[in-house]
Structure 1
């Protein structure tokens, strides 16, 4: 929507015969609720097209700037295109879209390393991948069952139904079951870092409620930058592990929680964590929980995008 620069979607049925739309869930239809969003970060002006050759729908989105207008004028450009995503209906929840980077992105993957790490409460662990300014991370997390049982059986652990990624203090807020995830685009001393993480709460029904968030509040030492915390609730179904994928490209971070049920795009401007000085860390800022992380990290190549030839340069075959 142009007023908010936030793109929403709706799920329902359109009847071509009489031109009517019937939402599956009227309470969260567009215009009534703001809950159904393509992306919870800097992502707007999106459009889709149908790829008839591969039978898929592709979503293109635009990533706005988070710095000042004066900075945009100085660098003589503003905003960039997001990585194209496939879009399908989540047939398990029927309330979500599944968005995922197009398969072609994997052709940019270079060398990779696998990791399996157990991290206790209040722990930050460096991940040795070399320069981490262009990487693709695919990860799954598991909480210890013993920790979950203790927390659910402990009446002193209060219900946390009011948690919000945007307003609850970011990754510095320590709960019984989170936050935990990755510190990306970080310098060695962590004076600059962007944090992509899960935060798991205990609901009044004693069930887990999981949030997928990105905290950019420490992403840069620059002054003329808006540094918000983004994110939202992400459905985690019975038997599913917590999974995330993160695409990092210098100043762009695109996060995909639970296979793409919740997506967050961020625009950050590190001044120290750049090029070879960029590091990757794994963190667990939970008070009680021990987390096991299994993940793979790829170094990513440039797309080497070249302009199309002008019409004048095209060679038109002779009709004779």
Structure 2
């Protein structure tokens, strides 16, 4: 009987929806160099004989889409797909006459709309009727060259519940509640009101270790300061092997002299001679979230507009900026620093990050941010569980047997002596589902 569909030659079918006349509609991924990536639509009366209709949505950010899904959350239609090596979402509506998807704002392939900011691809969603929620799981592949020696390659991420922001314009996610049942209550450790010293390269959290753990940490830190601090996981006692889960912020992100925001470019703007012209080009373009002007490059290759906000890197040749939001929110970055995560030079050591917008009118000029961090040997998954504004999945491969400690650090503290505080931190060992 197979294959049921032979044209066009796509992949990854997903049941999309059913109309009032009991027609089934199915989409799968397709694309060509000429047409770009597409989710193509089919119709069937019996779920066996399918007729190709047309692309339900397409764009030219990549030449092929994989693993598309389309589903309803509350009163919105969400379309997701895998392209450019990442998983993206967009929110919109389906034209009932033409049966095409129309995004409300940003589109698939624009980095402001990543499902996960790390090693997360080929995700699939399904509806959980018991808890009335849509669930998503992604594939996290290996990030080193030793998969054949281990005898396996990659695995699924933790399941996440996906939902919409209060205004219905953003797709968000958090770990499903059922994961709490894996917590070993006897291993629970709780600390609170820890004021971090202004200079703290590395300090162990006493009597806590594990490489299959969950950490809930509530940070409090001053607004609009040049800060860099965080939690260390999978660390040796001396910190020579470790992974940092950190937060960095700047006192001004509108124009940042001597900083680069590398990557996520969608346009190089011609005829720009000053950084102010690059900033103006970004402000005029709805797609643009950030920009970088390179001072020592020729005039037609020096202004780069970005569809997301990359992680900032010091560079004396660059001026960069983040487009500011009208509601006066300020941006920070949550990151995973893997520089010391493993010794293997063929493993990925680069940072993974997620930009987060925080309200500028917080209590006493302080920001508050909760992180929920799952560590399982070679994978770290970071969430912001209260509002679900980001997720980060990263792979690490610590070789040392005693790389199972937790610590904290402060690289840059407040310039006016305001404190960085761990309001609470809760740590559990996690039981295996196979027991």
TM range (shorter): 0.7 to 0.9
- Which aligned segments of 4 or more residues in structure 1 are displaced greater than 6 angstroms? none
In 1, are the aligned partners of 2:413 and 2:420 still within 8 Å (CA)? Answer: no
TM-score by length of 2: 0.58
Deviation at 1:30, TM superposition (A): 1.6
Query: Deviation per CA, 1:102-140, whole angstroms, max 9, x where unpaired?
Result: 111111101211112110223133112432211111111
CA distance in 2, matches of 1:122, 1:24: 46
CA distance in 1, matches of 2:433, 2:226: 38
Q: How does 1:125-136 map to 2 (within 5 A)?
A: 125-136=203-214
In 2, are the aligned partners of 1:13 and 1:22 still within 8 Å (CA)? Answer: yes
CA distance in 2, matches of 1:102, 1:194: 25
CA distance in 1, matches of 2:243, 2:428: 18
User: Which of 136, 149, 169 is the equivalent residue of 1:59?
Assistant: 136
Q: How many residues align?
A: 268
Alignment of 1:211 onto 2:333: yes
Q: How does 1:52-91 map to 2 (within 5 A)?
A: 52-68=129-145, 71-91=146-166
In structure 2, what is the equivalent of residue 224 of structure 1? Answer: 346
In structure 2, what is the equivalent of residue 142 of structure 1? Answer: 220
Query: Deviation per CA, 1:116-175, whole angstroms, max 9, x where unpaired?
Result: 21102231331124322111111111124xxx4xxx6xxxxxxxxxxxxxxxxxxxxxxx
Which residues of structure 1 form unaligned runs of 5+? 153-175, 306-320
In structure 1, what is the equivalent of residue 421 of structure 2? Answer: 292
Q: How does 1:159-238 map to 2 (within 5 A)?
A: 176-203=225-252, 204=254, 208-237=330-359, 238=361
Which structure has the larger Rg? 2
Higher relative contact order (CA 8 A, sep 6+): 1
In 1, are the aligned partners of 2:233 and 2:406 still within 8 Å (CA)? Answer: yes
More helix, by proportion? 1
CA distance in 2, matches of 1:180, 1:191: 17
Deviation at 1:258, TM superposition (A): 5.9
Root-mean-square deviation (CA, aligned residues, Å) is 2.1
CA distance in 1, matches of 2:155, 2:238: 29
More strand, by proportion? 2
In structure 2, what is the equivalent of residue 155 of structure 1? Answer: none
Which residues of structure 2 form unaligned runs of 5+? 1-64, 67-82, 255-323
- Deviates most, 119-128 or 240-249: 119-128
